[in-house]
């Protein structure tokens, strides 16, 4: 057998490119030659994010290996200012950073990261006095997440700080109702390149006529460049006039405040005002029957975590005949929904479902979806002992593994079945 060093490095790197992050880390521990190849190959670590905590555990060799791989994304748990100083000395070109459970009231050391494009502050245990640390980052920052961040500054200071970040394409602000911003028009006036916006709506009962109208569009009948909008804890009254600037929106996600909604289904107004909507996500609120007749025919992607019945899916198939992506999590106890999917949505390419209450035959009928490429099973856990419901194994059950094998055989392995979802570690977990 040919020895390891005699094979071309390009061949080994091609093989390593198919490995998971965990396997790459295992390979580099096998010998010094592989460690050198893996650490020196920047493409192998593209998009890799490292999670750091208790910095005293990391020696110079550890930091050197991260620097060699050009690691650009880091998540710090329970961090302090001195951690940022140490991190900047080893990874000054960092482009993505998340601070989770930050332990100090100051993050001014962020100014050391001159190329930071992605910043996420989540679940801070100490109040931040101000947001002045954002000013030095304004030239490069394109994505900002502020989720459950305790602020002692007024909302006006928050808006002023965010408005300086004129290169932002994505903004996420989630809070518990402590931040009161009358309208989003001020933010949208300055952030002209913003494409994705996620905002907590718990403080709004009725949206004002200029809620989404930036100054440069006021009275001109223009539309925003915003393409993706997420609304958390939503239950606000809205009119078609308010939504006029959003007529070009392509993706809408609504996470309702109440599982038992009020008498008026506000989602009807949203759907009739967004004729170009291609993606819709709904969590909670009214049953699907209240707005199914208002779904635009342009829909290609649909997520429904709501109360629905089989006849409601019939309406959806008529209203959105070209649906390609479906995430189905009904609140009702109906177990015969999945058997309807192949007939109602024949163009599906991706499907996300839960399988525990689905019969084997209904599961295998998904083979009829001729265009299906990815099936994601959202509840891939099982209880080995029925007499002990507290014993839960977070792995696919033997039954699920057999179903997956049978389905792949029936589709000639065309369908990829995913049982473990991987979230971006830099994002928050609210949505």
What's the average model confidence in pLDDT over 354-361? 91
Place of tokens 């000013």: 135
Inform me whether the pLDDT recorded for 429 exceeds 70. yes
Which position has the higher pLDDT, 340 or 38?
A: 340
C-alpha count within 13 angstroms, C-beta hemisphere, residue 137: 30
Q: Which among 257, 255, 206, 191 has a CA at the least distance from the CA of 229?
A: 255
Distance (Å, whole) CA 279 – CA 270: 13
Assigned token pair, 220: 């001109």
CATH among 1.20.1280.50, 3.30.70.20, 1.10.260.40, 3.90.1170.50 for 1-46? 1.20.1280.50
pLDDT band, residue 248 (cuts 50/70/90): confident
- Among 23-27, 62-66, 194-198, 394-398, the minimum mean pLDDT is found in 23-27
Decide if 168 contacts 146 (C-beta within 8 A).
Answer: no
Distance (Å, whole) CA 126 – CA 241: 41
Inform me whether the pLDDT recorded for 184 exceeds 50. yes
Inform me whether the pLDDT recorded for 177 exceeds 90. no
Which position has the higher pLDDT, 151 or 300?
A: 300
Place of tokens 């009948």: 221
Q: Which among 84, 81, 87 has a CA at the least distance from the CA of 103?
A: 81
Distance (Å, whole) CA 364 – CA 417: 12
Assigned token pair, 176: 């518990």
pLDDT of residue 268: 96
Look at strands 228-234 and 279-283 and give their pairing: unpaired
pLDDT of residue 219: 47
Distance (Å, whole) CA 313 – CA 297: 14
pLDDT band, residue 220 (cuts 50/70/90): very low
Q: Which residues lie below 8 Å from residue 223, measured CB to CB, with a gap of 6+?
A: 217, 244, 245, 246, 247, 248
Distance (Å, whole) CA 163 – CA 189: 8
pLDDT of residue 207: 95
Which position has the higher pLDDT, 182 or 260?
A: 182
Decide if 218 contacts 192 (C-beta within 8 A).
Answer: no
Cα 161-163-167 angle, rounded to 5 deg: 115
Which position has the higher pLDDT, 382 or 5?
A: 382
Helix (H) or strand (E) holding 49: strand 49-52
What SS3 class is residue 375? strand
In 91-173, which ranges are continuous DSSP H helix? 155-163
Helical pair 81-90 and 60-68, crossing angle rounded to 10 deg:
60
How does pLDDT run across 292-327, given as a tens digit for each residue? 999 999 999 999 999 999 999 999 999 999 999 999
Helical pair 32-40 and 9-16, crossing angle rounded to 10 deg:
70
Distance (Å, whole) CA 240 – CA 245: 10
How does pLDDT run across 111-144, given as a tens digit for each residue? 999 899 999 999 987 888 889 999 999 999 999 9
Decide if 98 contacts 425 (C-beta within 8 A).
Answer: yes
How many other C-beta atoms are found inside a 10 Å radius of the C-beta of residue 291?
A: 23
pLDDT of residue 335: 65
What is the residue-averaged pLDDT of the chain?
Answer: 90
pLDDT of residue 1: 43
pLDDT of residue 125: 79
Inform me whether the pLDDT recorded for 53 exceeds 50. yes
pTM for this predicted structure:
0.89
Look at strands 325-328 and 350-353 and give their pairing: parallel
Place of tokens 């609210």: 430
Give the residue range(s) of CATH 1.20.1280.50 domains in the chain: 1-46
Inform me whether the pLDDT recorded for 191 exceeds 50. yes
C-alpha count within 13 angstroms, C-beta hemisphere, residue 402: 6
């Amino acid at each position: 057998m040919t020895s390891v060093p005699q094979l071309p490095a390009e061949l080994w790197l091609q093989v390593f490119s198919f490995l998971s992050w965990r396997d790459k880390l295992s390979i580099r521990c096998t010998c010094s030659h592989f460690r050198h190849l893996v650490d020196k190959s920047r493409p192998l670590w593209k998009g890799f994010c490292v999670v750091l905590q208790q910095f005293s555990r990391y020696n110079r060799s550890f930091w050197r290996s991260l620097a060699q791989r050009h690691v650009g994304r880091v998540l710090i748990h329970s961090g302090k200012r001195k951690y940022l100083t140490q991190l900047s000395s080893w990874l000054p070109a960092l482009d993505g950073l998340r601070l989770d459970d930050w332990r100090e009231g100051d993050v001014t050391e962020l100014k050391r990261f001159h190329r930071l494009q992605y910043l996420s502050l989540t679940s801070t245990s100490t109040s931040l006095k101000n947001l002045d640390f954002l000013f030095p980052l304004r030239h490069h920052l394109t994505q900002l997440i502020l989720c459950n961040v305790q602020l002692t500054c007024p909302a006006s200071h928050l808006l002023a700080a965010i408005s300086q970040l004129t290169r932002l394409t994505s903004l996420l602000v989630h809070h518990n109702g402590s931040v009161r911003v009358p309208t989003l028009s001020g933010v949208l006036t300055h952030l002209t390149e913003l494409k994705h916006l996620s905002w907590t709506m718990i403080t709004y009962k009725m949206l004002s006529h200029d809620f989404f109208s930036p100054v440069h569009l006021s009275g001109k009948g223009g539309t925003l460049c915003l393409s993706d909008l997420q609304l958390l804890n939503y239950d606000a009254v809205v009119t078609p006039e308010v939504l006029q600037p959003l007529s070009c929106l392509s993706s809408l996600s609504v996470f309702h405040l109440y599982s038992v909604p009020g008498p008026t289904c506000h989602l009807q107004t949203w759907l009739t005002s967004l004729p170009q909507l291609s993606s819709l996500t709904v969590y909670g609120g009214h049953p699907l029957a209240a707005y199914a007749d208002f779904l635009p025919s342009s829909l290609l992607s649909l997520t429904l975590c709501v109360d629905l019945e089989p006849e409601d899916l019939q309406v959806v198939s008529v209203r959105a005949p070209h649906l390609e992506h479906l995430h189905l999590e009904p609140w009702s106890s109906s177990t015969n929904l999945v058997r309807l999917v192949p007939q109602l949505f024949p163009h599906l390419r991706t499907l996300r479902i839960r399988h525990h209450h689905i019969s084997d035959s209904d599961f295998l009928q998904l083979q009829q979806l001729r265009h299906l490429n990815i099936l994601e099973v959202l509840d891939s856990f099982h209880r080995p002992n029925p007499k002990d419901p507290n014993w839960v194994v977070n792995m696919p059950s033997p039954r699920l593994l057999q179903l997956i094998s049978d389905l792949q055989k029936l589709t000639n392995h065309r369908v990829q079945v995913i049982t473990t979802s991987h979230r971006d570690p830099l994002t928050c977990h609210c949505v």
